Chains A and B, each alone.
Chain A
Amino acid sequence: MAARIHVGAGAATALSTFNSKKLVAPPSRTNLPARSSKRYIVAAAGSDGSKKSLLRVRHSQKLIANAAVATKAETSATTGTGHELLLFEALQEGLEEEMDRDPHVCVMGEDVGHYGGSYKVTKGLADKFGDLRVLDTPICENAFTGMGIGAAMTGLRPVIEGMNMGFLLLAFNQISNNCGMLHYTSGGQFTIPVVIRGPGGVGRQLGAEHSQRLESYFQSIPGIQMVACSTPYNAKGLMKAAIRSENPVILFEHVLLYNLKEKIPDEEYICNLEEAEMVRPGEHITILTYSRMRYHVMQAAKTLVNKGYDPEVIDIRSLKPFDLHTIGNSVKKTHRVLIVEECMRTGGIGASLTAAINENFHDYLDAPVMCLSSQDVPTPYAGTLEEWTVVQPAQIVTAVEQLCQ
């Protein structure tokens, strides 16, 4: 993403101002400190942040095939500053910056200390901040999540790492009953500003138990927020925002996206936790996606553009709550919706999103909302089978063609 317009809480992004007359600024949220707006800068050369930079954005979209392997980002001429790094490094950078900024931020999880984390997100942090702030725990997800919650209630801001999101199923009790609830049941007396993060999603032959999509199970828990990162830019931004949030936030990373490379700004920035990201503005159809499926969608978009379609691609990023403002504006414009997700068909994010869109924007739809998901099967180990449990670009192209008839 070449042009970066850094946004603060509540402000509309220039990238989504296609139909500016329909756009109403979303209500401001107070979960980001007001003073942080000073840090937001416009990196794009276009000073008015208008359509000029928009077009530039569109041309320099990088379409990453298959999403697994790092590819060199197309660097636009506009960003002379900035530094290139991989997604896991972006997460680490965000985490390190927040730990520098606030001594209450700490990390706990398995092998996060000197080992640097199983995906190296916490690499080097134990050396810098010490064993106590980057804490290696024994193997018990429910216990260290519970520990993080207790520490948060006493004033710390823990970042709890699940080595794989699937393991956090063991922490479900603490997350649902304590993390999500105690702020409410204590009458607001105790806050739980934890970040729970880890890699999930279908990888490369990791087996069924290590290919879980936990956003399906967690989405119902009241009191928590869920976000999914997909690029180094939003990974760092969401990490920082999640740490600063007073609410418990679950940050979903994807096993196959850790080696994505991108140039991100040198200046400090934060991404809004409740905002969706406009990846590619378009007119014909709204494609809603998140995490790894974004890249499959963008690959399909390439094919679709060649076939004469103009899809609008939105990375919803905020899984709980949905950014119905951005999504709604898009639906009102295109009148067709395709959801592409990695969750299982039953009870996934797509299922909830379909319901939300139908409920809220029924009148604007020219066709039923279509949702492409994984099948309701445990992820097989065999590579060929595994590939077919995940939505592929060809299916996305077919679905768009079908919807746009």
Chain B
Amino acid sequence: MDTSDKDKFELEKSNDNPINYHSSGGMSSDWRFNSTSIPNSSLGLVPTDNLMSVCRGDLVGAASCSSSSVIDSFGPAMWEHPTNSQNLVFCDINAQNIASSSNTVGIGKGFPFSSRNGIDRTLEMGWNPPNSMLKGGIFLPNAPGMLPQSLSQFPADSAFIERAARFSCFNGGDFGDMVNPFGVPESMGLFSRGGGMMQGPGEVFVGSGMKSVSGGQTQKNVMNAGEASKDVSMSVDHMATEGSPLKNDTKRESLARSRDESKKGAGGSGNDSDEAEFSGGSGQDEPSMLEGNCGELSAKSLGSKKRKRSGQDAELDQAKGTPQSAKGSPETQQKGDQKPASTTSKASGKQGKQGSQGSDQPKDDYIHVRARRGQATNSHSLAERVRREKISERMKFLQDLVPGCSKVTGKAVMLDEIINYVQSLQRQVEFLSMKLATVNPRLDFNIEGLLAKDILHSRAVPPSSLAFSSEMPMAYPALHQSQPGLIPTAFPGMESHSDILRRTINSQLTPMTAGFKEPAQLPNVWDDELHNVVQMSYGK
């Protein structure tokens, strides 16, 4: 039926719209356009195919380049930006200010999206000025210290750890931002940039502190993580003004606080779903455990010290690493501390609506799961719940990765976004390879081009360094996008400096004139420098 189909279509479209399409027309990127056209893949893949051809035609246009670069700019902006809704609530005002300033500054890439999606967008844009300069360099300070955040979620596998170290870069901004006011590792000092995120440092910090804390707890392998998170939790403790020494208590405090902030002591059951999103990068057991704690704590308005004290003792016992069924909740060795908290909560007061929930293991161990009160103890449902929580926590990562998904909750829409994004990336690869085939009839990218590309990948030099007398750094201001890393040491060995310089600069000029991926402010600086360089190179 036509009408029913249309209704369904519109219904779903309207569902997607508030989430995706806040942006006014402007520079809607390709995959945004694509999303609009295929609000939900459940309508079938036929529309997808049609749109693919359409989008391909679209891609041919110049807008496609800009949009893909917009997407690119999105990535880091999204990565550095903590997209927790709670944080957003706290940081809107400053973020908007920052966003407006950044808009006026004219970060070309991120621009069109600044108008959309309200708070989280503005927050992203707020980060753009430093982001654009440090696009890849963000990872530089991130990598060493950022292990804690995301590593917790993945099994103790070295490959996973490496990958998670990469992923942690995405959360690293969040982590760094949150942690920074307390001056934790200086590697996060890079993120001391805006004051925007530091609105309510207590709440904000708590919100992420829980994240990072829980992140730190679950991975025994990563000592950094544990230490960093312990530091974080310690700071949280100080902030929390509860003064309980143990970090577990601190966690619970922070959890309770954050819970209170966000839910005003709502019932425990409501915590479940929230925690699934809220805990972000926490381990699998975190959500249930945390919500357990939070629920009861919020119900008790932070609880009495006595109860915590008794909890501490039990926690200590558990923390010894004995996964015995004390109080009937056997816990996995790897998730030492959170478990005790939950079990003690059960043990101490029987406040109970919650028990702890076991978390997943690396494949070798059993999965010890405890049923929550009021829920089925069927093994199937337990396993399902574990699986669901694993999935939801991994979706959190994807949320950070896929641009425009900060506000999206729920698997279906997230999956849709992910699908669209992956499709758009794949289509971009196709298009680019086609273009490369047409441009270069000989398929040989000569060494010169390769070297120039090395330059592109080399470190970004801020405009202040333009004052250098040597020629090489002169080329760098063109590379605002490049990341710190490889220094083109092979450079002098090759052709003449002037040739390569001229070519590099030209290569940067073409994009500049094409108008994509350059921030509007830099060309002003460039013009003078480029003139200088060109004169110098011609003068040689």
Are A and B genuine complex partners? no
The chain B residues found within 8 Å of chain A, CB to CB, are none
The chain A residues found within 8 Å of chain B, CB to CB, are none
